[in-house]
Every structure is written in C-alpha cells, then in structure tokens.
C-alpha cells in the first residue's frame, strides 16, 4: 500500500480545449498517495474534464500527467493504475450484484476461483454480501451505488476516480454515503479523487481539496483552510456564507491595509499579501461571525461596524439569517443560531449596526 507522503497524482500545465472552448487551462496539481482528494466547484467549471484526463478517457491538449511518477499523458485507461466510478450507476441490468462486481475480473480472464473469492470479499466490504444474487432493479439507490463502488474497487487499482458519485441520491442518503465512502477509503488506504459541486459533501470526506472554476484551479487546501482562510475571492464566495465587500486600497499602514468601500472604510491585516495603493481588492467575513447590535447597544472594542437598514429574518432551522441593506444597496447577512421558538425582535426598515471582529476579516487580491 502506498504511503501518504508519496505522490499519487502530479499534473503540470494541464489543458484541454474543445475547439475554441478552453475547458481546462494550465492546471498544476499534486495529490498524495492515500489521500481522499476532492475537486470542488460549480457545474461546468472543469472538474470532470480533469478527472477524465486523469483516467485517460480524453487526451490533454497540453501538459503532463504523472501517476505514481509514471508519465501516462498519452496512455489509454487500461494502461493506467486507475478505476472510475461514474455519476450514473451504469449497472448491467441482466446481471446479478455478484456478476456486476466481477465483470472487470472476467474481462481480465482470471481463474474462476480467484474471481469468486475477490468478489465475495468485496461484497463483504461494501455491505452487499446478502444481496449477491439480487438484480439491479431490485436495489435501492444506495445499494446500486455500492455495487458500482465494489465493481471499481475489486480491480485493485491504486487510484479511484469518482465523478459526482452521490448526485443521484437523496439528501439523507447522500450524507450517509459520504461517511461510508470516507470510512471505506481509510480502510482500503488507496487514493480517492472525488468530483462534486456539493460543498457539504466535499468537506465531509476530503483530506485536501481543490477549487476549480472556469477551467482554472483557483485554490487548494484542507476543508478548514478553505472555509476559514480563503485566499481567493471566488473561494470565499463559493464556500460557506460570506459577506464580501469590494473596494479600493486607499493606504498602507505597517501590516494593515486601508480599504475605501465608498460607504465605509475598513482597515484589514495584509495577511502576508502585498497590495498597492489604488488596487481593487475584496474583504470577506463569514456570516456566522457577524452580530446585529440592538438599538443603543455600543460595539465592543476591536469590532468592525457598518450601519445597515434591517430587511428580514430567514429561518433555516439551526440558524436564522438576518438580512439588511447597506448604504450602497448591497445586502449584508448575520447568521445567528435559532432560539428554539423565539427570534430576535428587529423591525423591518429599522436602522441597525452590524459588527464583527476585525481580526476575522479576510483580504482578497483576486
């Protein structure tokens, strides 16, 4: 089994064009062996294109793909140490569960006894041992997904590629399957590369993840890093619920950056970045860190404040979002834990102050 400090996937300058359309542009990415790595981003952003390039189902326009140090850029799927789990279950309707799982082994013309033993062990691993003789039409969505997983894993490839594997499942089953996938990957120890546009799904399973949009790799990191310390404006806008303010750098003071938003001025820590005066930049703050100060309530020290006109409360179960309008017409949201039958008593159109810790603001140069 590969160790986590080894490199399973390394791509450099990877690009894919379809005529004039650039589906993927100059991607550089490294994935460690034994990692559960997630490619996250909006639909049409290039995630599946990258996954199919790794699997050899399409050829790159430019760039290089190394799998465990071997250049496979021009190799077909059967010459790569990968196996693919597709978005659709794609099971053979005339075959039993066991026959579906063993299909790839039969193509390799392995001895019948070896096929039977490996299929039996895989059915045990994915929780389908009692359903070996059942036909696909008699299975639930989650069971069908386990069959497809078993069919891919039984081939014993070093890298499993998963293309939106939970998209066809309902929300509750998707959550359950997320945990099952993570536990299965930890048990087997091979590299999983999982494509999804669902951030909750991604954050549940990922050791590390990459944000991909418009054919570009925007940012990589752990789920916690990307949620709490996004470097790119796009990441802040895509993950979690962030309030984002766009403005111009009006001054630099030591490690601080003065930003003129037009309706207010913020001073934000540069966070190791080097903006210049007059640069257009953005600042984000997560909505759960924002408080609504009641009428006459004085802000605490070290809080950034902005005046706003209260709009409405949106009840979301665990949390309630309090939406207000800023002087420039943009919305600001404060997300508070719901109070079990009671709510904050803010009147529509009331002038209020929204406040948050200055140290929690994030500066984005792009």
Kindly state whether residues 202 and 265 are assigned to the same domain.
Answer: no
What confidence score (pLDDT) does residue 344 get?
Answer: 64
Are the CB atoms for 89 and 142 separated by under 8 Å?
A: no
For residue 234, is it within any domain? Answer: no
What confidence score (pLDDT) does residue 255 get?
Answer: 83
Kindly state whether residues 252 and 212 are assigned to the same domain.
Answer: no
What confidence score (pLDDT) does residue 1 get?
Answer: 42
* C-alpha dihedral sign at 113, 118, 124, 129: negative
What confidence score (pLDDT) does residue 341 get?
Answer: 53
What confidence score (pLDDT) does residue 76 get?
Answer: 95
What confidence score (pLDDT) does residue 275 get?
Answer: 92
- Beta-sheet pairing, 159-163 with 82-85: parallel
Kindly state whether residues 128 and 12 are assigned to the same domain.
Answer: yes
Kindly state whether residues 92 and 201 are assigned to the same domain.
Answer: yes
For residue 235, is it within any domain? Answer: no
Distance of CA 86 to the CA centre of its chain: 18
How many domains does the chain divide into?
2
The mean pLDDT values, 10 residues at a time, for the chain of 366 residues are 71 96 96 97 95 96 97 95 85 93 92 94 91 93 88 92 86 86 92 95 96 97 95 95 96 90 92 92 96 81 90 91 95 89 74 93 92
- Of 32, 33, 30, the residue nearest 2 (C-alpha): 33
SS3 labels along 149-214: HHHHHCCCCCEEEEECCCCCCCHHHHHHHHHHHHHHHHHHCCEEEEEECCHHHHHHHCCEEEEEEC
Note down the domain range covering 150: 7-228
Kindly state whether residues 13 and 43 are assigned to the same domain.
Answer: yes
For residue 233, is it within any domain? Answer: no
**Alpha-carbon distances of 262 from 60, 266, 274, 279, 327, rounded to whole Å:** 45, 10, 22, 14, 9
Kindly state whether residues 315 and 290 are assigned to the same domain.
Answer: yes
CATH number at residue 322: 2.40.50.100
- In which element (H, E) is residue 145 found? helix 141-153
């Amino acid at each position: 089994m590969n160790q986590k400090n080894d490199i399973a996937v390394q791509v450099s300058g990877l690009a894919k064009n379809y005529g004039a359309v650039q589906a993927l542009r100059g991607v550089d990415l490294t994935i460690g062996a034994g990692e559960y790595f997630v490619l996250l981003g909006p639909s049409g952003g290039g995630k599946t294109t990258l996954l199919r390039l790794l699997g050899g189902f399409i050829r790159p326009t430019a760039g290089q793909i190394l799998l465990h140090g071997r250049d496979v850029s021009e190799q077909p799927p059967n010459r790569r140490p990968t196996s693919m789990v597709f978005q659709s279950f794609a099971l053979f309707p005339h075959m039993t569960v066991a026959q579906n799982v063993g299909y790839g082994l039969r193509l390799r013309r392995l001895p019948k006894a070896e096929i039977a033993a490996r299929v039996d062990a895989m059915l045990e691993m994915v929780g389908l041992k009692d359903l070996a003789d059942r036909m696909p039409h008699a299975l639930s969505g989650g069971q069908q997904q386990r069959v497809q997983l078993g069919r891919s894993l039984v081939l014993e490839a070093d890298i499993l590629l998963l293309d939106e594997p939970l998209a066809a499942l309902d929300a509750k089953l998707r959550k359950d399957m997320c945990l099952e996938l993570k536990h299965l990957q930890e048990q087997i120890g091979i590299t999983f590369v999982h494509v999804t546009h669902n951030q909750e799904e991604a954050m549940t399973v990922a050791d590390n993840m990459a944000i991909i949009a418009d054919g570009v790799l925007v940012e990589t990191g752990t789920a916690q890093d990307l949620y709490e310390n996004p470097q790119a404006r796009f990441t802040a806008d895509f993950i979690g619920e962030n309030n984002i303010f766009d403005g111009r750098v009006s001054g630099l003071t030591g490690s601080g950056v003065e930003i003129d938003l037009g309706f207010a001025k913020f001073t934000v820590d540069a966070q190791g970045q080097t903006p210049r005066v007059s640069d257009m930049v953005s600042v984000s703050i997560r909505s759960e860190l924002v408080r609504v100060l009641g009428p006459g309530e004085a802000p605490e020290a070290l809080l950034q404040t902005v005046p706003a006109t209260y709009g409405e409360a949106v009840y979301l179960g665990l949390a309630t979002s309090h939406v207000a309008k800023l002087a420039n017409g943009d919305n600001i949201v404060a997300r508070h834990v719901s109070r079990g039958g009671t709510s904050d008593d803010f009147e529509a159109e009331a002038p209020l102050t929204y406040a948050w810790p200055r140290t929690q603001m994030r500066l984005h140069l792009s």
